[in-house]
Structure 1
Amino acid sequence: MRKRGFLGRNIIGIMIVILSCLAVWGCLPVKLYASSVDENRWFEQVVLVAIPGFSFMELEPAVLEEMPNLQRLVKQSGFAAMNIRTQKRQMSDVYVSLGAGANAVGMAGVQTFGAKELWGGASALELMNRYSGKPAFNVGEVLVPQVHVLDKANKNSFSNASPGTLGESLKQHGVLRMVLGSSDLGITFEDPKKLRRYAAQMLMDRAGGVDRGVIGNDALMASVDRPFGVKTDYKHLLSVMEEESNQKRVVLLELGDLYRLYADRDSYSAERFVQLKLEILQELDECLGVIAGGISKEGVMWIFSPEVGVDAVKEKAFLAPVIRYSADMEGGVRAGLLVSETTRRVGVIAYTDLSASLLTEFGIRIPKEMTGQSVEMVSQKRDSKWLISDVSAMQTIYRLRLKLLLAFATYEVIVLLLCLVFMVFIGFRPYAGMGIGKEWAVKACRICLLTILAAPCVMLVMGLWIKPLLFAVGRGAVLGWMYAGFVLVVLVGAYLLQRVKLLSALSLLAWIVSVMILTDGLTGAYAMRYSVLSYDPMIGARYYGIGNELMGVLIGALLLAVTVSLQRWHIRLAAGTPTAASGASGARAPSALLCAALLACAVFALVTVYLAAPSLGANAGGALSAAIAFGAAGTCCCAGKSLRELRWSRVVTLLAALLAVGLLALWLLNSADSPAAAGRESHVGRAFHALREGQFDQLRELIVRKLRMNRHLIGVSAWSKVLITSLFVMAVLVLRPRGRLVLWQNKYPYLMYGFAANTLGAIAALLLNDSGIVAAATLIVYVAVPMLLLRLEEEQSQRLASLHKSSASHSS
Structure 2
Amino acid sequence: MIRSAGRWLVTLVSLVAVVAAGLLPTTASYAAPPGQVQAPGQGQGQAFGSGQTLEAAGTPGTSRATAATTHPIVLVGTGGFTWSDLSAARTPTFWALLQRAAVSTVTVRSVNTNTCPVDAWLSLSAGERAAAAGVNGAMRRDTGTPCPGMGEPVNGQVPNWSDYRSLAERSDFGAEPGMLGDQLAAAGAEVLAVGPGAAIGAATENGEVAEYLDLATALATQRLPATRVTLVDLGSVRDPDDQPRGEAAVQETLAQQVSALDQKLGELLTRLPADADVLVAGLSDGGRTARLRPVLAAGPDFGAGLLYSPSTRQPRLIQSSDLTVTLLTLAGAEVPRGQGGGVLAARADSDDVAARYRDLVDLDLATLKGHALVPPFFNGMILTQLAIYLGVWALLKGRLGAPTSRRRLLGIVQVVSVAAAAVPVASFLANLLPWWRVDPVMLALVGAVGVFVAMITLVAVAPPAGRHLLGAMLVVSLASAVVLAADAVTGSRLQLSSMMGLQPVVGGRFYGMGNVTFALFVTSVILAVTVLADALVRRGKRLVAAGVVAAGGLAAAVVDGHPSWGADGGGPPALLPGIAYLVLAVLGVRLTWRKGALIAAVTAGLFLLVGFLDSLRPADKMSHLGRFFESLGTSAALDTINRKLSTNIGNLIGSPLTLLVPVALVFVVYVLLRPTSWGAKSLERSFERAPLLRSGLVAWVIVMILGFALNDSGVAIPATGAMIAIPLVIAVAVATLRDQSRESAR
Q: Which amino acid aligns with 1:651?
A: G
CA, structure 1 residues 732+607, in 2 after alignment: closer, same or farther (shift >3 Å)?
same
Q: Which amino acid aligns with 1:300?
A: D
> 8 Å contact 1:158–1:704 — kept in the other structure?
yes
| 1:368 correspondence with 2:337 | yes
Mapped to 2, the partners of 1:735 and 1:257 lie a distance apart of: 60
Partner secondary structure for residue 76 of structure 2:
strand
Mapped to 1, the partners of 2:537 and 2:519 lie a distance apart of: 27
For structure 2, list consecutive stretches of 5 or more residues without a partner in the other structure: 1-20, 43-66, 136-147
The residue that corresponds to 2:123 in the other structure is 97
The residue that corresponds to 1:716 in the other structure is 654
Which of 218, 228, 249 is equivalent to 1:248?
228
* 1:411 to partner: Cα distance: 4.3
Q: Which amino acid aligns with 1:254?
A: L
CA, structure 1 residues 388+546, in 2 after alignment: closer, same or farther (shift >3 Å)?
farther
Which of 203, 219, 244 is equivalent to 1:238?
219
- 1:64-83 alignment runs, 5 A limit: 64-83=88-107
* 1:76 to partner: Cα distance: 1.0
* 1:261 to partner: Cα distance: 11
Which of 58, 65, 76 is equivalent to 2:85?
58
> 8 Å contact 2:277–2:302 — kept in the other structure?
no
- CA deviations 1:367-411 (Å, max 9, x no partner) are 237422221221333865455444444444445545654445444
- CA deviations 1:11-64 (Å, max 9, x no partner) are xxxxxxxxx9999999644311533122244245333322232322322xxx33
Aligned length: 675
Which of 504, 526, 531 is equivalent to 1:559?
526
Mapped to 1, the partners of 2:578 and 2:705 lie a distance apart of: 9
Mapped to 2, the partners of 1:371 and 1:29 lie a distance apart of: 16
The residue that corresponds to 1:483 in the other structure is 446
Q: Max radius of gyration: which structure?
A: 1
Q: Which amino acid aligns with 1:351?
A: S
* 1:249 to partner: Cα distance: 4.2
> 8 Å contact 1:78–1:336 — kept in the other structure?
yes
CA, structure 1 residues 79+408, in 2 after alignment: closer, same or farther (shift >3 Å)?
closer
The CA RMSD measured in Å over matched residues stands at 3.5
Mapped to 1, the partners of 2:405 and 2:608 lie a distance apart of: 51
Mapped to 1, the partners of 2:338 and 2:474 lie a distance apart of: 48
* 1:488 to partner: Cα distance: 4.2
Which of 709, 713, 732 is equivalent to 1:771?
713
> 8 Å contact 2:418–2:457 — kept in the other structure?
yes
Partner secondary structure for residue 494 of structure 2:
helix
- CA deviations 1:327-355 (Å, max 9, x no partner) are x3xxx531121122221122211111111
| 1:37 correspondence with 2:40 | yes
| 1:604 correspondence with 2:542 | no
The residue that corresponds to 1:656 in the other structure is 601
| 1:169 correspondence with 2:183 | yes
Which of 309, 312, 322 is equivalent to 2:295?
322
* 1:608 to partner: Cα distance: 0.9
Mapped to 2, the partners of 1:699 and 1:78 lie a distance apart of: 36
Mapped to 1, the partners of 2:381 and 2:193 lie a distance apart of: 53
CA, structure 1 residues 402+102, in 2 after alignment: closer, same or farther (shift >3 Å)?
closer
> 8 Å contact 2:708–2:715 — kept in the other structure?
yes
Mapped to 2, the partners of 1:521 and 1:364 lie a distance apart of: 34
- 1:727-742 alignment runs, 5 A limit: 727-733=665-671, 735-737=673-675
For structure 1, list consecutive stretches of 5 or more residues without a partner in the other structure: 1-19, 116-123, 125-140, 182-196, 220-232, 574-588, 805-812
Partner secondary structure for residue 278 of structure 2:
strand
Partner secondary structure for residue 212 of structure 2:
strand
* 1:100 to partner: Cα distance: 0.9
> 8 Å contact 2:240–2:249 — kept in the other structure?
no
> 8 Å contact 2:90–2:259 — kept in the other structure?
yes
* 1:102 to partner: Cα distance: 0.8
Mapped to 1, the partners of 2:641 and 2:23 lie a distance apart of: 32
Which of 154, 164, 167 is equivalent to 1:153?
167
- CA deviations 1:297-350 (Å, max 9, x no partner) are 65222212232334xx66x6x111111221x3xxx5311211222211222111
Mapped to 1, the partners of 2:310 and 2:85 lie a distance apart of: 28
Q: Which amino acid aligns with 1:212?
A: E
> 8 Å contact 2:178–2:202 — kept in the other structure?
yes
Partner secondary structure for residue 335 of structure 2:
coil
Q: Which amino acid aligns with 2:330?
A: E
Partner secondary structure for residue 438 of structure 1:
helix
CA, structure 1 residues 307+382, in 2 after alignment: closer, same or farther (shift >3 Å)?
farther
CA, structure 1 residues 70+461, in 2 after alignment: closer, same or farther (shift >3 Å)?
same
Mapped to 1, the partners of 2:689 and 2:608 lie a distance apart of: 35
Mapped to 1, the partners of 2:189 and 2:26 lie a distance apart of: 44
Mapped to 2, the partners of 1:494 and 1:203 lie a distance apart of: 57
- 1:232-631 alignment runs, 5 A limit: 233=216, 236-240=217-221, 242=223, 245-256=225-236, 273=253, 277-278=255-256, 280-296=257-273, 298-310=275-287, 318-326=291-299, 328=300, 333-368=302-337, 370-381=339-350, 385-402=354-371, 405-424=374-393, 426-427=395-396, 429=398, 438-466=406-434, 474=437, 476=439, 479-491=442-454, 493-494=456-457, 497-499=460-462, 500-501=466-467, 502-571=469-538, 573=539, 589=540, 592-631=541-580
Which of 694, 703, 706 is equivalent to 1:752?
694
Name the structure, 1 or 2, with higher relative contact order (CA <8 Å, separation 6+).
2
> 8 Å contact 1:357–1:375 — kept in the other structure?
yes
| 1:762 correspondence with 2:704 | yes
Q: Which amino acid aligns with 1:486?
A: V
Partner secondary structure for residue 253 of structure 2:
helix
The residue that corresponds to 1:210 in the other structure is 209
Mapped to 1, the partners of 2:370 and 2:693 lie a distance apart of: 33
* 1:70 to partner: Cα distance: 1.7
Q: TM-score, normalised by structure 1?
A: 0.75
CA, structure 1 residues 99+600, in 2 after alignment: closer, same or farther (shift >3 Å)?
same
Q: Which amino acid aligns with 2:623?
A: S
CA, structure 1 residues 146+761, in 2 after alignment: closer, same or farther (shift >3 Å)?
same
Mapped to 1, the partners of 2:504 and 2:603 lie a distance apart of: 33
Mapped to 1, the partners of 2:219 and 2:646 lie a distance apart of: 46
The residue that corresponds to 1:193 in the other structure is none
Q: TM-score, normalised by structure 2?
A: 0.81
> 8 Å contact 1:84–1:350 — kept in the other structure?
yes
> 8 Å contact 2:192–2:230 — kept in the other structure?
yes
Mapped to 1, the partners of 2:81 and 2:593 lie a distance apart of: 60
> 8 Å contact 1:161–1:369 — kept in the other structure?
no
> 8 Å contact 1:265–1:273 — kept in the other structure?
no
* 1:421 to partner: Cα distance: 4.3
Mapped to 1, the partners of 2:227 and 2:395 lie a distance apart of: 83
> 8 Å contact 1:49–1:255 — kept in the other structure?
no
CA, structure 1 residues 325+164, in 2 after alignment: closer, same or farther (shift >3 Å)?
same
Mapped to 2, the partners of 1:385 and 1:722 lie a distance apart of: 46
